[in-house]
Amino acid sequence: MDGAGDFGSDLFPIKQDQGNGSYCLGNGRGTGGPNESQRAILAPGPEGAISTERFENFREGTELGEAVLYLEKAMADKKISGELEQKVNRYLDERGEVFIKYWYTKRAGIWDAGMKTSIIGQVERDARLLDLCAQVAAAAK
């Protein structure tokens, strides 16, 4: 997959810079084209592309990824130590283990909500992640 078509922008025409015509993006080498619209994260709006719920999910996932990187960098740069460093390290180990071992298995499904490895448990882990980032930011000042 390469190109703007992967993000749904090939599903609506774009006004040409000059003249009255329009053109579509994507639909070429490996982009999937309109037949892949269920994965679109952009939608047509009155002035061009607008975000969708899928885009917001993508954005939130990016923020969570950046939060994990923030914690890893704080540890690598020795900005935290002691109990907080141990807490961050335990959290990152747990998050990685859950993702690697359980994300794509039946144990990770919503039918297994009582387990800490469940998808539902991910909401709690994400909240803990952001809380740890706040603690690290306060300690690093």
113 plus 63 within the same structural domain: yes
How many domains does one find in the chain? 2
Distance CA 93, CA 105 (A): 19
18 plus 44 within the same structural domain: yes
103 plus 62 within the same structural domain: yes
43 plus 79 within the same structural domain: no
What is the span of the domain harbouring residue 8?
Answer: 4-51
93 plus 133 within the same structural domain: yes
34 plus 103 within the same structural domain: no
Instruction: Kindly state the average pLDDT of the residues 35-41.
Output: 56
pLDDT at 54: 78
127 plus 69 within the same structural domain: yes
Where do runs of H (alpha helix) occur along 1-141?
53-76, 82-102, 119-139
Considering 6-10, 31-35, 73-77, 119-123, the range whose residues carry the highest mean pLDDT is 73-77
Distance CA 61, CA 122 (A): 12
pTM of the model: 0.62
